[in-house]
Structure 1
Amino acid sequence: MSTKEKTETCNTKKFTELFSQLSYSSDDEQREKIEEMNEVMGKMNKEEFMSVFTKDLSNRMKEMTDEKILSMENAILLLKHVGYCQTLKCFYDFAFKDSFLSDRFQEMIIEEKMMKEEKDEKLLVDLCECYLLLNRWPSSEMSSIIVPCLLKVALKREESEESQKEVEMALLALSNFWSDKVPKELWINEFKEIFQYHKEHHNLTRIAYQSAWKFFLSRTHFDHSLEHVIVNEVHFEREAIRELEELAKWMNWKKKEEEMSKKESKEVLIIGRWLCALGIFFRLFRFWKEEFAELIGSVANVCRTARENYKEISNWCIFVFEAAAGSRDATIEDLLESGAIDAIFEEIHKPTMDDRITNKILNFFMSISRKAKEKKRDEMEEVKRKEAKRKVFEMMEEEGIEDDVIGRYCNIIEGARYFEPLSKCLEDYFAYC
């Protein structure tokens, strides 16, 4: 068993042991054990989370709160951190969504919202944050309560550390919201205000600011009219370039992941979240601006510096390149000048590459090949296309890319280990055809 596997086993075992001890602990002891569980969760990966945070565990927590074995306050303390870790690391499961505990939270949120007197605003916020962090597809009824409730917190202007943490948690929860149940009129002006105020006062934490953008970007999936607002009013690309460059500048990329401090680990997660948001951005947006090539260039810089010690970060960069190459109006010149093609060429030579990354790279080559073959009506644009096609062809020859592409293609097709449709025609992966 490898050191990594032993660590994973240790994490899950420790979490399970601590959870079982909650049943015969006092309220104060439970809080101490939950703090320990929260520490363990910070070290877990997706597979470990999926193995311990199951539907059965959620249902058991519901039983424990019903039987007064576990206070709702302590249950929220644990669940909020579960949702925080999952959302920060950009992975999702349905363990809570399909559980009786989820139903109980819905009932409590509605009950608390309906109260006219003695309403516990903090409890309502805690419930809404927990619910949204663990269930990104709330119903219309839940959405109409949760989004306004958390927006009210997100608009706080106090500069205290406690206030910043409250705002961060509210925006992180909203970044997990993936639904068309709330019309833009109920949130768009508030988010413009959040962005503008941060530009002037820098009041948000890095997680809070990135989360605000992720919420905004994901809305374009349901309303393409927001594309104009994002690039021409709130200027997403400028902010993303600045944030990525600042984060990358302060990272010690020569350190291995296990050697990082807690602060550095969090910054790596924030970079990953920006890259995740950029993948959404390029996949959803239907037009292209010149500034986008500069944004891709920032991602290429991160990819190069992260490649040796931060595989997950370099993988996210590949997702961004594949999404950008698939954009209708992105040109080969943009992808060449930004360094995206160079980064992909370097990646495909690596001896170890998982199937999902292989799939993304093959899709990237299909997009490049398609763009190289699309003749332009404008004479000058056609000259540019032919020159870019020639450059890519020469690079592929010089780097010996053809054999790598064919080998990767054969392995993934023969094993049927692909995640998105791939062409069965090998010519579709080469720009020189």
Structure 2
Amino acid sequence: MKDIINYHQKHHNLTQLAYQSAWQFLMSRFFNDDSLEEVIANKLHFAREARREIEELTRCIDWKRKKEGRRRKEAKEVLVVKRWFCVIENDLSPIKLWNKVFIGLFSSIACVHRAAKENHKEISEKCICSLRNAAQNRDVKVDDLLNGGAVDAVLENIIQPTLNNKIADKILKYFVNISKRLKKKNEGEMEEEERKELKRKVFDKLEEEGYEDTITSFHKIFVFLEIKYSLGTLLKISDYFVIV
């Protein structure tokens, strides 16, 4: 499968669906074979390829077109984009060989989210889930999430009047993960200064959108919400967001 992907990158012999399927097959074996990580991240350049394919596909999608009933067949490009996000959503959390190319992937995810949030809710939600999983990964730099536009994309969801429990839960965990990492002090003087500066940037971003106290409020209620949510208790998580 590595050879198939590598050959396509040189000769472009596969359709977009076939190329995505090859990646999906390879990535599904990632969890059982750590040696694949070096191949996936640095030799086949997963982040670069995923970004390029998604951007190419999304240029062919009419994001403003609304679904006309359940029977209307989705465009091929929409289906392939959904499949890419199934892979991205699952694999941003465990990957350890992190590099700056992923910032570009974050930017693409943020752009797709904005384009899809009106008429393609499933894709939009997968974007948020992907960014949530990236924030869980300790090898992902917080400033990469900030520079890639991931923070902006997630913040835009908080003010949506149709915010549902599932997405509210993902947003909550996204900011809690970032906040926990920003709270950990570094021993090195230079690293500690960088942490403080990054923390200031994140809170400035929250302040711009009117959410400067939101991260603090998340810490106070997160355990309670997580227990209630996991038990299936009827609870609208978005009601607990603090809007300053």
TM-score normalised to structure 1 length: 0.49
Identity of aligned residues (%): 47
Out of 388, 393, 398, the residue aligned to residue 203 of structure 2 is 393
| Preserved CA contact (<8 Å) 2:132 2:171 | yes
In 2, distance between residues paired with 1:390 and 1:404? 14
In 1, distance between residues paired with 2:115 and 2:55? 12
Residue 414 of structure 1: CA displacement?
9.0
CA gap 1:378/1:250 in 2 versus in 1, 3 angstroms: farther
Pairs aligned (count):
229
CA gap 1:256/1:418 in 2 versus in 1, 3 angstroms: farther
Out of 231, 252, 258, the residue aligned to residue 68 of structure 2 is 258
Residue 341 of structure 1: CA displacement?
0.2
Residue 332 of structure 1: CA displacement?
1.9
Q: 2:190 corresponds to which residue?
A: 380
Residue 391 of structure 1: CA displacement?
1.5
The 5 A counterparts of 1:63-82 are none
Q: Which has the higher contact order (CA 8 A, sep 6+)?
A: 2
Task: Indicate the RMSD between aligned Cα atoms, in angstroms.
Answer: 2.8
Deviations 1:142-184 (A, max 9, x none): xxxxxxxxxxxxxxxxxxxxxxxxxxxxxxxxxxxxxxxxxxx
Out of 51, 54, 57, the residue aligned to residue 241 of structure 1 is 51
CA gap 1:221/1:273 in 2 versus in 1, 3 angstroms: same
| Preserved CA contact (<8 Å) 1:348 1:404 | no
Letter paired with 2:92: F
CA gap 1:414/1:323 in 2 versus in 1, 3 angstroms: closer
CA gap 1:400/1:281 in 2 versus in 1, 3 angstroms: same
In 2, distance between residues paired with 1:320 and 1:419? 24
Q: 1:130 corresponds to which residue?
A: none
Out of 15, 25, 31, the residue aligned to residue 205 of structure 1 is 15
| Preserved CA contact (<8 Å) 1:372 1:385 | yes
CA gap 1:241/1:359 in 2 versus in 1, 3 angstroms: same
Residue 404 of structure 1: CA displacement?
6.7
Question: What 5-or-longer segments of structure 2 have no aligned partner?
Answer: 233-240
Out of 32, 38, 59, the residue aligned to residue 222 of structure 1 is 32
| Preserved CA contact (<8 Å) 1:306 1:314 | yes
Deviations 1:13-70 (A, max 9, x none): xxxxxxxxxxxxxxxxxxxxxxxxxxxxxxxxxxxxxxxxxxxxxxxxxxxxxxxxxx
Residue 282 of structure 1: CA displacement?
0.9
Q: 1:273 corresponds to which residue?
A: 83
Residue 249 of structure 1: CA displacement?
1.4
1:369 corresponds to 2:175:
no
| Preserved CA contact (<8 Å) 2:2 2:26 | no
Deviations 1:290-343 (A, max 9, x none): 111111111111111111221111100001000111111212211111000001
1:416 corresponds to 2:191:
no
Residue 270 of structure 1: CA displacement?
1.2
In 2, distance between residues paired with 1:281 and 1:322? 12
Residue 416 of structure 1: CA displacement?
2.2
Q: 2:122 corresponds to which residue?
A: 312
CA gap 1:285/1:238 in 2 versus in 1, 3 angstroms: same
Residue 371 of structure 1: CA displacement?
1.7
| Preserved CA contact (<8 Å) 1:220 1:284 | no
Letter paired with 1:253: W
CA gap 1:201/1:261 in 2 versus in 1, 3 angstroms: farther
In 2, distance between residues paired with 1:391 and 1:343? 16
| Preserved CA contact (<8 Å) 1:359 1:419 | no
Letter paired with 1:213: W
Out of 155, 167, 191, the residue aligned to residue 345 of structure 1 is 155
| Preserved CA contact (<8 Å) 1:218 1:280 | no
TM-score normalised to structure 2 length: 0.83
In 2, distance between residues paired with 1:200 and 1:414? 47
In 2, distance between residues paired with 1:212 and 1:382? 42
Q: 1:294 corresponds to which residue?
A: 104
CA gap 1:261/1:245 in 2 versus in 1, 3 angstroms: farther
Residue 196 of structure 1: CA displacement?
2.1
Question: What 5-or-longer segments of structure 1 have no aligned partner?
Answer: 1-190, 421-428
